[in-house]
Amino acid sequence: MRTRQAMSLEQFNAAPAAEAHELLKPCLDVPRWIEEITAARPFASLDALLDAARNAADPFTAEELEGALAHHPRIGERAAGASAEATMSRSEQSGVDARDAATVAALAAGNKAYEEKFGRVFLIRAAGRSAKEMLSALQERLGHTPEEEEPVVAEQLREIAVLRLKQNLLE
Ligand SMILES: NC(=O)NC1=NC(=O)NC1=O
């Protein structure tokens, strides 16, 4: 699934900073991360870029985490609109079958409980995961303390960012 702003590594390396920002923002909306990667160009390979993306996304500050989480639709809710983020979210969440009412309802209830407990949306790297796998991860993580859950959320955000970046750069 290619989003409209997909470009080659060469194009990414040579693009004006504003265009690099436009590609990076839907991957992870953390200004420091976007700036660091843009400034680190040119990258010799896609792997070098993905390594830099992973490293620059560790650690996050609490503010960065909150800011980035605001952009992720709940698991089980189809993101509306044609933005790069919405398009990628729908593709990532294709493992959720809207016709499976029981699972969708269980996800909605789990999301609600998670938000009440942690005060933020339940975030998981959805690509490659079925609704049932995400539901069991949600149930398991509901048992975490906030201290236990924080690094888990950061890792999921990192995985989503790297996956989206990879998807946006033509191999
Ligand atoms: N709440 C979420 O975890 N949302 C999402 N995870 C993804 O991988 N894509 C999403 O939209």
Tell me, what DSSP letter sits at residue 95? Answer: G
Confidence bin at 2 (pLDDT 50/70/90): very low
CA distance 114 to 106: 12
Q: How far is the CA of 140 from the centre of ligand 1 (A)?
A: 17
**Could you tell me the pTM of the whole model?**
0.94
* pLDDT tens-place string over residues 12-38: 999 999 999 999 999 999 999 999 999
Strand partners, 169: 7
Per-residue tokens: 81: 């609109």
- Measured from the Cα of 159, ligand 1's closest atom is 8
- Of the pLDDT bands very low, low, confident and very high (cuts 50, 70, 90), residue 68 is very high
**Ligand 1 centroid, distance to 112 Cα (angstroms):** 15
Question: Can you give the pLDDT at residue 171?
Answer: 56
Ligand 1 — pocket residues by CB below 6 A? 72-75, 89, 92-93, 121-127, 160
Residue with CA closest to ligand 1 atom 9: 89
Q: What is the pLDDT of residue 1?
A: 41
